[in-house]
Structure 1
């Protein structure tokens, strides 16, 4: 895959020098074979954080070697946590690759690595979008059954899973009861805790056995980062900059919202103790991470890097692959059906309706299977304000990149839904919301959010024309044509503001699809 913009920087982030012969030697040793038994070595995949190689042996067996890019954070902990997480979930009946060996310290290979067995089957990949209804249902049911196993595992705290031996002395940890191999809950391994300068902060990264601390700690992390490194900057999404009249955004505005969130956080903890139980979910449940056999029996789930344990009310929610929350009929939990006049539609209309039906079908049956067999998850999904609580937690947790609006709007929605969110006092009264916003403040934030939503819609439309993903990635085959289409759209955009010199200058400087200074 190639990037449409800032490609040199993306490639530099992924450039990794390592000793191939030493990696072959480590792989052979992991299965008690001499290096001379290695038949071939080839790259088979490049993901967002890792490069994967297949090391084939003369007897026909294979070993997979997974090496993180230099930009993958946290360096040691990402590998250490994934190794321990794979062992943990395998022990509880989740099909995952068996780890054959790993290294998180200086070694002859010259890089951290995981060696693992090759799973049978193949990733669903793009075939997911072409499955029949029955094939989709078979995969969905199995996934919900696997998630049910995860929801039934007792875990003592929120954080990430490690072998205690892989944590530095003095690192906070909580032992996993009944673990014979020294598993424990340690610091969060999610990227947002270590992104950029965040890794240099001396902060509380868990583990936490108090759900209120789970809610507050990520916002405290962001406050510490703003105090140490915050400076005015443009929104990282360049298409948003016109909405803000090309003015840099003040990190102190975001800091104020983080303080407001921290004051709200104790009230976001559910009264029901079951909703506070720590739960581990797969961090990226998407087609390329789901392996199936020819008859669509799931043979394994891969890529558990950056996994974290969170209280059930925060861990709950539909995977992005399955949710269709933007659709009114999906939100009403109505069984999907094609329109009565489907057969009389033209080909393009039928294609749109089939895709709409596919998304509704997946959303409905994921929820239906969850309701039927995964009681703890369904209970969390049933909470009226669950989506809002998870959204404000995620927005308060995310590294600040020049955009204050999402968290500010979350605070508006929490204040408007306060009577549903706040725990009642012993006398039955509802405590006052600690954050008071005027109607004018709420309306200004809502108007700004609507403007950004319109930008998102236009970006999605243009990305579709260009044939690129939201982060600018496209296939090697489409790279040159995407760049040419982007050039033509740029010319049209600049010509539309040719009569306004300042606006043309700003539009040219901040054009969304050009290379740019990502640190400005």
Structure 2
């Protein structure tokens, strides 16, 4: 008789001990997903939560309209809910809609993303419009909304991008009757790509890619004089505007008297105490100035406000407390290599607008056999930045990049394909189709903007603005990569300002292996426990997931928890609150 197996939740913690104490290969972390989860663990799809079917509200409504109700968080929930709570005057919103649509509201359905509430409104005349309310977490007051509206106007009327027509908007919550920033727009035509992508054939998917590439090519026609967010001139003080809109030699549009480039409205420049700090938020006249501002922003915030043991996601605290001095030193090193990170080709340095989040929920396609792109929504956070940093592929084209050829070469089926089983062949064909679709987009859109040593140039930029969120190791590894490839990056015989001893390199590689193993393992833990990033779960799953986690910890043997405490940081249990509770009573309610 075989001995009964321990529960999956117990086995993954035993695996954690083995992982940390022996520094085994990445295969151990990957193997965790092979553990059979109990039936009450429903595993979510990868990626951020897709907005669910909305909640209907008639004339009567309650506080749930103002709360985030599409999900729950298993830790730090009070903070997450407070960042998404916004109370507004519904009657005043109805009056604004009626005034611009010449018809009164008969019903309203709430749909939510992580940053906004979208109210799908049906009018008495049968017309449907969308009213978007900005949550506090979305970004800076006034700038985020005013920039989004101006950007949608510009790309719609100047670049031919199909975006919903804006009917009314306000970026001053304190100065309107609604009591919140809002945008009222026409509803997008067609069908949401997320609802049909998995049913589309190869020809239809190719149509989506080709029509999207054509639209993005229009966006590349507008080359701006500086880097920053786009605004109506009246919304930005003259002292904060770039002196001109378009660069010399760019295609001209009848817009220079209406629009301007101003400070960036991206939420990363306004998170936490950063909103009240005197930071360089642009507009920037060179890529180097923008890259430098990322480090100076974080240096200023870390010096004054960073708390060593506070993490918005406790999974990030596995390496122990962070040291301010180490972060400041690495950011200073990053600033010293910025000239080598900037490519020399003018084409890739052009300041272009680019949609910040082309996930399948933001793309609408025609409701016919062609399935071409007919609308693109959610331009919040869009800004004019260096093309080589801006241009990325849509998330719905993500594929297994293992074995994906570079350059103009096309993917091929693996060797030995003819000898594989029918099921394996089918899986290989699906992977090959996905790779071919990605390659189509890469060759048509990204290849003309390729740069040498792309990852080496861009990884330090991505890491520099997130060291306290992600830990210092990604930036240190990115700096090591620059150090090792300095002859290919530097201009002339300029010596590398970075220094690494052989012992430091070996230690960084050991930390890298441990970091990768641990984070792979934590991703598998999330999957096994059925949660997304930051502990997000659907509302109906919350009670069972909470009970599962509490029961798991109580069942762990004393000997096992003692080992965990010895190997892992203090307060090793990852499913716990790690940030202070918000002070606003309405946010806690």
For the aligned pair, the TM-score class normalised by the smaller chain equals: 0.7 to 0.9
Bigger mean CA deviation after superposition, 251-260 or 51-60? 51-60
Whether 1:292 and 2:365 are equivalent positions in the alignment is: yes
* Structure 1 partner of 2:288: 212
**Per-residue deviation, residues 310-361 of structure 1 (Å, max 9, x unmatched):** 1122223334443447523355754243772587255xx6786466445423
**Per-residue deviation, residues 95-139 of structure 1 (Å, max 9, x unmatched):** 111111111122100101111111111211254344332222221
Q: Is the 8 A contact 1:123 1:292 kept in 2?
A: yes
Once residues 485 and 344 of structure 1 are traced to their aligned partners in structure 2, the CA distance between those partners, rounded to angstroms, is 39
**Per-residue deviation, residues 148-202 of structure 1 (Å, max 9, x unmatched):** 1112222111100001111245334344254155200001111111111111111
Bigger mean CA deviation after superposition, 434-443 or 480-489? 480-489
Q: Is the 8 A contact 1:233 1:250 kept in 2?
A: no
Once residues 474 and 341 of structure 1 are traced to their aligned partners in structure 2, the CA distance between those partners, rounded to angstroms, is 42
| Cα 1:55–1:278 shift into 2, 3 Å | same
Q: TM-score, normalised by structure 2?
A: 0.78
Whether 1:112 and 2:184 are equivalent positions in the alignment is: no
| Cα 1:498–1:204 shift into 2, 3 Å | closer
**Per-residue deviation, residues 63-98 of structure 1 (Å, max 9, x unmatched):** 211001123221211101000010111120111111
Q: Is the 8 A contact 2:232 2:258 kept in 1?
A: yes
* Structure 1 partner of 2:208: 139
**Per-residue deviation, residues 17-48 of structure 1 (Å, max 9, x unmatched):** 111111011112223x2xxx214231341011
Question: How much has 1:284 moved relative to structure 2?
Answer: 0.5
* Structure 2 partner of 1:427: none
Once residues 358 and 164 of structure 2 are traced to their aligned partners in structure 1, the CA distance between those partners, rounded to angstroms, is 15
* Structure 2 partner of 1:373: none
| Cα 1:203–1:239 shift into 2, 3 Å | closer
Question: How much has 1:413 moved relative to structure 2?
Answer: 0.5
* Structure 2 partner of 1:45: 111
Once residues 374 and 295 of structure 2 are traced to their aligned partners in structure 1, the CA distance between those partners, rounded to angstroms, is 38
| Cα 1:8–1:41 shift into 2, 3 Å | farther
Whether 1:393 and 2:461 are equivalent positions in the alignment is: yes
Once residues 520 and 364 of structure 2 are traced to their aligned partners in structure 1, the CA distance between those partners, rounded to angstroms, is 33
Q: Is the 8 A contact 1:62 1:117 kept in 2?
A: yes
Once residues 58 and 466 of structure 1 are traced to their aligned partners in structure 2, the CA distance between those partners, rounded to angstroms, is 46
Once residues 92 and 190 of structure 1 are traced to their aligned partners in structure 2, the CA distance between those partners, rounded to angstroms, is 22
Among 506, 510, 514, the alignment partner of 2:572 is 510
Question: How much has 1:282 moved relative to structure 2?
Answer: 0.3
* Structure 2 partner of 1:403: 471
Q: Is the 8 A contact 2:314 2:578 kept in 1?
A: no
Question: How much has 1:475 moved relative to structure 2?
Answer: 2.8
Once residues 458 and 357 of structure 1 are traced to their aligned partners in structure 2, the CA distance between those partners, rounded to angstroms, is 28
Question: How much has 1:365 moved relative to structure 2?
Answer: 2.3
| Cα 1:130–1:468 shift into 2, 3 Å | farther
| Cα 1:190–1:409 shift into 2, 3 Å | same
SS of residue matched to 1:161: strand
Among 114, 117, 139, the alignment partner of 1:73 is 139
Gaps of 5+ in 1: 371-376, 425-429
Question: How much has 1:487 moved relative to structure 2?
Answer: 4.4
* Root mean square deviation, CA, Å: 2.7
**Per-residue deviation, residues 187-241 of structure 1 (Å, max 9, x unmatched):** 1111111111111111211011212112211111111112222342365543344
Per chain length, whose mean CA-contact separation is higher, i.e. which structure has more relative contact order (CA < 8 Å, sep 6+)? 2
Q: TM-score, normalised by structure 1?
A: 0.88
Q: Is the 8 A contact 1:232 1:402 kept in 2?
A: no
Once residues 228 and 438 of structure 1 are traced to their aligned partners in structure 2, the CA distance between those partners, rounded to angstroms, is 31
Once residues 61 and 54 of structure 1 are traced to their aligned partners in structure 2, the CA distance between those partners, rounded to angstroms, is 11
Among 232, 237, 241, the alignment partner of 1:163 is 232
Question: How much has 1:481 moved relative to structure 2?
Answer: 4.2
Bigger mean CA deviation after superposition, 510-519 or 89-98? 510-519
Gaps of 5+ in 2: 1-69, 247-253, 582-589
